Amino acid sequence: MAESDLPHCPECGTGLLRPGVVWFGESLPLISIDKADEFIIRNRVDLILVIGTSRSVWPVASYVNIVKNQGGKVAIFNTERDELEDSTVDDDDGKMNNNNDSNSSMPDCWQFIGDAATSLPFALKPLIGETFNE
């Protein structure tokens, strides 16, 4: 793709636009981490969605542990299985494989393995209804 075909700044016309994401290997802005830390610590979070990252990435790993220690649940959406967790929903068949050792019949973590563009609407279907794919 030619550089001229890439999106440019509408104000100056010369600088390339960049999506508002943090790429692999980049650090999150400190203000974002501070706000998330404060929210997770001050509020009793009953469910945390971990989308497109693993628990080996900081600060996500700490947030998952805090939520679980407060009795909350975790839903992980990633292309690879998180080996630190036991319960899995594979988006190929949508069936729960509950290997959780707790006494509760409801797992404390669900994993959705596959493309989040597919697995996230699948998991949230009871809340948001049908979605469509272009």
Question: 40-73, pLDDT tens digit by residue?
Answer: 999 999 999 999 887 777 888 889 889 999 999 9
Report H helices in the chain.
30-42, 60-69, 116-128
Q: Residue 17 and residue 9: Cα distance in Å, rounded? A: 6
Q: Residue 20 and residue 87: Cα distance in Å, rounded? A: 32
- Model-level pTM? 0.68
Question: 1-49, pLDDT tens digit by residue?
Answer: 888 888 888 888 888 888 888 888 888 889 999 999 999 999 999 999 9
Report H helices in 51-102.
60-69
Q: Which of 15-29, 75-89, 97-111, 116-130 has the lowest mean pLDDT?
A: 97-111
**For residue 66, what are the contacts with CB-CB under 8 A and spacing of at least 6?**
40, 41, 45
Q: Residue 30 and residue 23: Cα distance in Å, rounded? A: 15
Q: What is the mean pLDDT of residues 77-103?
A: 60
**For residue 92, what are the contacts with CB-CB under 8 A and spacing of at least 6?**
114
Position 99: which residue type? N
Alpha carbon of 97 to those of 48, 94, 112: distances in Å? 20, 9, 11
CA atoms within 13 A on the CB side of 35: 5
